[in-house]
Structures are given as C-alpha cells and as structure tokens.
Chain A
Amino acid sequence: MQELVNRAKELLANGTVQRVLGWKAGDMAYNPEPSYFESEADLSEFVYDAFCGANLSKYMIEASKKEGKTLVFLKPCDSYSFNQLLKEHRVDRDKAYIIGVGCKGKLDIEKIKKEGIKGIESISGIGMEDACDTLKIGTLYGDKECSYQDVMLERCHVCKGKDHVVFDETLLESRDTVDSERFHEVEKIEKMSPEEKFQFFQKELSKCIRCNACRNVCPACSCRKCVFDSTKFDSAQKANVDPFQEKMFHIIRAFHVAGRCTDCGECSRVCPQGIRLHLFNRKFIKDINEFYGDYTAGEDINQEAPLTHFEFSDREPNEERG
C-alpha cells in the first residue's frame, strides 16, 4: 500500500496530477470511503486494502470537470467501467492518470456478519501484503476467524481477470480469486418453472426499498436524470407502491445498461437489502453472449455495442432457446 502512497506523492509533487482519487481509512476496519486527496498531508489517511471494494470510475465523471488531472486508482474490474464511460464520452481520458492497482479479492462485511461475527473491533489479514487466506477478527465478544475466500464479494468469485484494460501504469500484484461459474446462478434460475421463477423474484424484489443505491453507484447508470426521476415517460416513481413497480424499475434499469454493464457488481454490493441485483444484469450479459457472440462491455471501446448493432441473421424474439 505504501507504494501507492509514494507514487501518489511523487505525481502530486511533480505536478502530473492535481489531486488523487482513492480510498480514505474509515473509523472501522471495514469502512474506507472514496475520497480525494489534494496534498501529501492528506495522503496520510489513504488506505488500500480488502475493503476498498468501491469502484472509483464513476467519480471520474465529476473529476473530468475539474481543473487538471486526477490520479485515480482502478482495480482490474474498475478499469472496464472506466473504459465504458470513456466509450460513452462521460469521462475525459486526458483528465485521468490511471494507476491500475492489483486486487486480491474484495471483502463483503455483510458476509462476515452473516457468519455470526458481531461487535467487530478490528480485522487483520486484509492488507495487500497479507496472504488472504484467513481473517483474524477482534470483536467485543471475543476473537474470531474466518476464511478470506468465504467472505469475498460475489463479484470476486467470478472475477473478470487480473488485467487492466486501461491504465497509465500498474502497481501491486493481483490474485486469482475465481472459484465459481459466472452464469451458474442465472442458469439455475433459467431451469426453474415459470412459477418458481416468479416466486423467486417476487420474494427477492419485495425487499427493495427503492433507495436507488444500486442505480446511483452504477457506473453505467450515469444519466443526468434517470427516467424514474423525470416526467419523460410519465414514469417517475419514488417508492414501490405495487410489486409491479419493483419489477418495472429493475427490468428497465437492467435493460438500459444491457450491453453497457461491465458486471462490476457494485449494485449487489451496495444493496442494503442484499438483493442479488447482478442476477438481472448477468442474465442480459449471458443472453447477449449467447445470441450475438461474446461481448464484454468496457473491454474494447471500439467494438460495436450489442444493442446499437445488428446482424441480418439475428435470432427472432419469439424463438425458443436452444
């Protein structure tokens, strides 16, 4: 981590960048927050560890409007989001100095708590220099341990890979974290009967409180004004008054990011109700791959996006799968 701080200090000092966008240590072991650092002194609070899951690429939309360059730290998966934003002209490549940082898999505090660990005072084993196999957790109710792999964010189990797709330089090594099949969950649902599918999603979505965290954290949902906030479709909603509205919101949100979603997993990470929102986006990704050939949003900014492109021989909408 110190390497990151040192490099940031250098780049600030030599005037390459005006500010640094990274993570600031929180008041708990697990809640660092995205933050700007304007000076060397500020950087004393810089942190980069297993809880820095937040994807900083979306902050670059605002940073692109600021004077001078911003140094931003992007994890491999974050770099896809940045690239996608670049493709959509939402960020300015010239305003960004990108350090691609390695990643050993980010942790999900909710999963730690699900293991029955509460009153957390300290967590060790979360640094980039650590082995990432066991976490030692000091709590008000005694010392606990849990496996690093078990409490990783869902997205890290199906990681896109260790390579950054856009960067000026890279620092720190990444680790292989994949231990699941990316579309396994989606396939499981696809195999259910219509009734089972309906019940599954009805239950899952009934938790939605329409806090919009999924939308607002999403780098693809970067509209200045969302259709669900505007009068454009007579579709403004502030609450899910009826189960239909839960579906409407999540279907349309997924549709709007279809072909643009990099599967960064932020939606699922931030949902206060633990709704597995990636199940929507990943369904579209799976369909797109299956129907129109493999496509990874954000991978190549020159590639035609699946929904703004077509082939004469595309499948018909009524066609049965298979």
Chain B
Amino acid sequence: MPLTENEFRPKIVAFCCNWCSYAGADLAGSSRLSYPADVKIIKVPCSCRVNPMFILRAFEKGADGVILCGCHPGDCHYSTGNYYARRRMTLLFSMLDYLGIEKGRTRVEWVSAAEGVKFSQTMNEFVEKIKSLGENVRLGDLRCKN
C-alpha cells in the first residue's frame, strides 16, 4: 500500500509471544500474507511477560492501538502464562473502558505458530478498527505528539 498524503496511519504495537504468535507472524511472512506496515512487533517470551505498564507506555508515547498475541489457552509453552495474561488484560481493558478510552484500541488474540493466516487477518482487522477509531487522543502524553 503506497503512502498517500493525509491518510491517517496509526501506530500499532503488537506484543507477540516467542513460541506461538511470533512464529505465527513469521509464518504469515513466509506465506506472504500481507498486513499493514503500521503494525510493529515486539517479541516477548510469553504473553504473561507483558506488563500493563508496557501497554500504557505505548499509548503514552503515541501508539494508537496495542495488541497482545499469545499461544492459545492450553498451549502455553510455559503451561500457564497466557492464563495469567488473560486475567490481567481482561481487567486492564475493562479499566480502560471505564475511563472512557475507546474500546478496540486494545486487543488480545491467541495465535498459534500454525496460524499465519489468522495472524495476518487479525492484524488487518485490527488496523482497520484503529483507523475507524482515529488518532488516539485520550491516552497519550501531549509532549510526544509533535
């Protein structure tokens, strides 16, 4: 997709667990399943490594959307990591919603190493969603806006 003037291009951070989702992203890559370049992936060992601080930090510094991908429940390389992540993110997202931050700026998706298609689909959907929400103005530090 070529860059066109004035088009809103969101900044999107995707945390991917090393074992499933990062590999899923690799598979999307080797299967040439495209998704917008707005998505940048950060590798973490497990979805349970993702601290709510990281997610808020991303928004602080100007992210428009943050997505966390991990192994499907039951498939965690560390047996239980994604279950903890699931509870943490459930609560965090609920709090963000409560504070009036638009739903959909945050998302959790379970993507296995075999789900290249799902990875790319998820990212396409997520970017669309963030584009429809527009720029993140409610949860960023204004000092980072210029």
- Interface positions of B from 30 to 67, Cβ below 8 Å from A: 51-53, 56-57, 59-60
Q: Are A199 and B60 neighbours in the complex by a CB distance under 8 Å? A: no
Tell me, in angstroms, the Cα distance from A319 to B97 when the chains sit together: 12
Q: Mark A291-321, 1 if CB is under 8 A from B, else 0.
A: 1100000000000001110111011111101
CB contact between A307 and one of B80, B88, B142 (< 8 Å): that residue: B88
* Known contacts A316-B108, A317-B86; A197 and B139 CB within 8 A of each other: no
Q: Are B98 and A189 neighbours in the complex by a CB distance under 8 Å? A: yes
Answer yes or no: A236 CB below 8 A from chain B CBs: no
Q: Are B100 and A310 neighbours in the complex by a CB distance under 8 Å? A: no
Answer yes or no: A241 CB below 8 A from chain B CBs: yes
Tell me, in angstroms, the Cα distance from A189 to B96 when the chains sit together: 12
Set of chain A residues within 8 Å of B74, measured between Cβ atoms: 312
- Interface positions of B from 98 to 145, Cβ below 8 Å from A: 98-103, 106-109, 138-143
Q: Are A314 and B53 neighbours in the complex by a CB distance under 8 Å? A: no
Answer yes or no: A242 CB below 8 A from chain B CBs: yes
Interface residue stretch chosen among A38-46, A160-168, A252-260: A252-260
Chain A contributes a number of interface residues (CB within 8 A of B) equal to 48
Tell me, in angstroms, the Cα distance from A284 to B94 when the chains sit together: 8
Tell me, in angstroms, the Cα distance from A241 to B60 when the chains sit together: 12
Q: Are A198 and B101 neighbours in the complex by a CB distance under 8 Å? A: yes
* Known contacts A233-B53, A244-B140; A283 and B84 CB within 8 A of each other: no
Closest B residue by C-beta to A241: B143
**Distance between A245 CB and nearest chain B CB, rounded to angstroms:** 7
Q: Are A190 and B90 neighbours in the complex by a CB distance under 8 Å? A: no
Tell me, in angstroms, the Cα distance from A284 to B91 when the chains sit together: 7
Set of chain B residues within 8 Å of A201, measured between Cβ atoms: 99-100
Chain B contributes a number of interface residues (CB within 8 A of A) equal to 40
Q: Are A310 and B80 neighbours in the complex by a CB distance under 8 Å? A: yes
Q: Are B92 and A255 neighbours in the complex by a CB distance under 8 Å? A: yes
CB contact between A287 and one of B51, B60, B91, B100 (< 8 Å): that residue: B91
Closest B residue by C-beta to A200: B100
**Distance between B47 CB and nearest chain A CB, rounded to angstroms:** 10
Set of chain A residues within 8 Å of B107, measured between Cβ atoms: 317-318
- Interface positions of B from 69 to 98, Cβ below 8 Å from A: 73-74, 80, 83-84, 86-98
Q: Mark A237-257, 1 if CB is under 8 A from B, else 0.
A: 000011111011001101100
Q: Are B73 and A312 neighbours in the complex by a CB distance under 8 Å? A: yes
Tell me, in angstroms, the Cα distance from A312 to B107 when the chains sit together: 19
Tell me, in angstroms, the Cα distance from A197 to B100 when the chains sit together: 5
Set of chain A residues within 8 Å of B53, measured between Cβ atoms: 227, 233, 235, 252
Set of chain B residues within 8 Å of A311, measured between Cβ atoms: 83
Give the top 4 A-B pairs by smallest Cβ distance, nearest first: A198-B100, A197-B100, A310-B83, A317-B89
Give 26 pairs: A residue, B residue, CB < 8 Å, sorted on A: A198-B99, A201-B100, A202-B100, A233-B53, A235-B53, A235-B57, A241-B143, A244-B59, A248-B56, A251-B92, A251-B95, A255-B52, A255-B91, A255-B92, A284-B91, A291-B87, A291-B90, A291-B91, A308-B84, A314-B87, A316-B86, A317-B90, A317-B93, A317-B108, A318-B107, A319-B90
Q: B residues bordering A, Cβ < 8 Å?
A: 51-53, 56-57, 59-60, 73-74, 80, 83-84, 86-103, 106-109, 138-143
